[in-house]
Amino acid sequence: MSDRRVLAALTARRVRELEDGGAHAFVDWSEAALLAQAGAPVSPAGGALAGETVAVKDNICDLTFHTTCCSRILEGYRSPFEATAVRRLRAVGALVAGKTNCDEFGMGSSTEFSCHGPTLNPFDAARVPGGSSGGSAAAVASGAVSMALGSETGGSVRHPAAFCGVVGIKPTYGRVSRYGLVAFGSSLDQIGTFGRDVASAARLLAAISGRDPLDATSLDRHPLPPPGPAPASLAGTVIGIPREYFGEGLHPGVAAGMRRAMDRFRDLGAELRDVSLPHTKYAVPTYYIVAPAEASSNLARYDGVRYGRRVAEGAADVRALYGASRGTGFGPEVRRRILLGTYVLSAGFYEAYYGKAQRARERIRADFKAVFASGVHALFTPTTPTPAFKLGENLGDPVAMYLSDIYVCTANLAGVPALSLPIGRDQGLPLGGQLIGPMEGEAEIVRIAQALERVVGGAEEVR
């Protein structure tokens, strides 16, 4: 049996064990599909991801598995094309283990808004894995796969990475092709990567990055180089600590974890500098206008005729068919965001909401630009205000759920790269620290994260 077939069989066993245990991280996978990939011819030179298995979020198109965005409206859908990111990781030797659970169309912060039911947090089955890419984070945290792809519109890679104790990277907008990523908020969406350590997540990012003519918003840049070794010192590195990320609502366990991590940065020789991003408090309100507005437009195509499951029973005309197909095909959070987006774009409200939010977004971008122009190499913040919350805890209050994104959605609005890495635990639950870099500053935040990881220990065994 070849090494690739052994890896495929071993991965299948791990995924089966994970799913038999009730984790519900995967929504489509099979041993046969893994073995078929392992049997396909590979370049004699191997590849940058040879020996790696990658799980793929269910809103990223591939040719082997279904792509449903965890939505009833795309039940049974198989994509006629493969996302550029998936094509690239397969070209360098990775095996795709299967598709992972997520909030429907990426809308949520807990993976509870999936038509397949929630994924459970690998550290505490009574808690959420974060979201929306919760299945990918749980798959990596459990050790079923070595890496995973997720997607971000407002923190959906970094948030579950923090809740599941793994590393998650959101690259600069345009760094990774969006071709084959099902659109949610097109000015915000980016594919991101998960790994059990910083180098793994960065290697996967390097493999999928680079210009793609199939995505008009793709940056005209060469692929990122793979990460170097972890530096032993951060002397000469200035890390900004934005005071707005340490205010009201920050869980004491998270605050304590951040203080410990900041001490480690000082031990490494970094200079910590108090900085301000004064428009941070407007990020969540801005995000929850811009993202639903874009979603209401992007999701208009799912009407039972152009795309999506058709519900025609009792429909007297085609408009009733659209309404019934969309009304029953979308889940509660997607319906809520489509209606919110339609409201803020409707006549009489457009300028007050959408126009205002666009200008607020410029202010948020300008905050980041100013702080990086002042000589700060990266910003260090908590990834989430709390450790993983309990299943059902925020389902009744959308605003409480949205506030879970308060520290992560700023990077999506500004387009800058950011990553989350484990910085220890509070009462057994993982804590995430976030490094945010300037535009195209992935290599710098990866370097700083590798140095911190070396002294705090990185991802830990789940059990």
Partner 1 sequence: MAVTREQIQHIAALAELAVDATAAAELERQLTRILDYVRQLEELDTGGTRVADERAAPLRKDEVVADRLDRPVSDFGAAMRQGLFVVPRLGELGGGEEEP
Does residue 335 interact with partner 1 by CB under 8 A? yes
Of the pair 9, 324, the CB lying nearest partner 1 is at 324
Of residues 110, 132, 136, 420, which has the active-site annotation?
A: 132
Residue span binding partner 1 (CB under 8 A) among the ranges 108-116, 153-161, 298-306, 370-378? 298-306
Does residue 78 interact with partner 1 by CB under 8 A? yes
Which of residues 97, 204, 340, 409 is near partner 1 by CB under 8 A? 340
Q: CB-based burial of residue 272 (10 Å sphere; 0-12 exposed, 13-18 middle, 19+ buried)?
A: middle
CA atoms within 13 A on the CB side of 65: 30
Tokens of 460: 């830990």
Which of residues 353, 368, 372, 389 is near partner 1 by CB under 8 A? 353
Does residue 362 interact with partner 1 by CB under 8 A? yes
Tokens of 424: 């220890």
Of the pair 187, 269, the CB lying nearest partner 1 is at 187
CA angle (414 as vertex; 408, 420 as ends), nearest 5: 30
**E-only strand ranges, 14-81:** 26-29, 53-57
Does residue 351 interact with partner 1 by CB under 8 A? no
Cβ(169)–Cβ(150) under 8 Å?
no
Rounded to an integer, what distance in angstroms lies between the CA atom of residue 265 and that of residue 249? Answer: 24
Does residue 296 interact with partner 1 by CB under 8 A? yes
Instruction: Tell me the H-state helices in 281-355.
Output: 283-298, 318-329, 332-345, 350
**Active-site residue, 346 included:** no
Tokens 């798959």 belong to residue: 139
| Binding pattern for the stretch 185-224 against partner 1, x by CB under 8 A and - elsewhere | --------------------------x-xx-xxxxx----
| Binding pattern for the stretch 375-414 against partner 1, x by CB under 8 A and - elsewhere | ----------------------xxx--x------------
Of the pair 142, 410, the CB lying nearest partner 1 is at 410
Phi then psi dihedrals of residue 189, to 5 deg = -60, 135
Does residue 30 interact with partner 1 by CB under 8 A? no
Task: For residue 391, give Cα distances in angstroms to 15, 293, 360.
Answer: 23, 28, 33
Size of the site for partner 1 (CB under 8 A): 67
> How many CB atoms sit inside 10 A of residue 289's CB?
24
Give the residue from 381, 388, 379 showing the smallest Cα distance to 425.
Answer: 388
Rounded to an integer, what distance in angstroms lies between the CA atom of residue 407 and that of residue 159? Answer: 9
Residues 314 to 333: which contact partner 1 by CB under 8 A?
314-324, 326-328, 330
**Active-site residue, 99 included:** no
> How many CB atoms sit inside 10 A of residue 6's CB?
11
Does residue 267 interact with partner 1 by CB under 8 A? no
Per-position DSSP letters for 354-418, written without gaps between them:
IIHHHHHHHHHHHHHHHHHHTT--EEEEESSSSSPPBTTTTTT-HHHHHGGGTTTHHHHHHT--E
**Active-site residue, 151 included:** no
Phi then psi dihedrals of residue 271, to 5 deg = -95, 125
Residues 81 to 110: which contact partner 1 by CB under 8 A?
81-82
Does residue 18 interact with partner 1 by CB under 8 A? no
Rounded to an integer, what distance in angstroms lies between the CA atom of residue 120 and that of residue 59? Answer: 19
Does residue 305 interact with partner 1 by CB under 8 A? yes
Rounded to an integer, what distance in angstroms lies between the CA atom of residue 183 and that of residue 297? Answer: 10
Of residues 133, 156, 200, 209, which has the active-site annotation?
A: 156
Of the pair 101, 325, the CB lying nearest partner 1 is at 325
| Binding pattern for the stretch 151-170 against partner 1, x by CB under 8 A and - elsewhere | --------------------
Residue span binding partner 1 (CB under 8 A) among the ranges 77-85, 196-204, 442-450, 453-461? 77-85
Of the pair 150, 174, the CB lying nearest partner 1 is at 174
Tokens 């389902």 belong to residue: 395
Does residue 128 interact with partner 1 by CB under 8 A? no
Does residue 363 interact with partner 1 by CB under 8 A? yes
**Residue ranges binding partner 1 (CB under 8 A):** 63, 78, 80-82, 173-174, 211, 213-214, 216-220, 279, 281-282, 284-286, 288-289, 296, 300, 303, 305, 310, 312-324, 326-328, 330, 335-336, 338-340, 342-343, 346, 353, 356-363, 397-399, 402, 415
Report, as residue numbers or ranges, the catalytic residues.
57, 132, 156
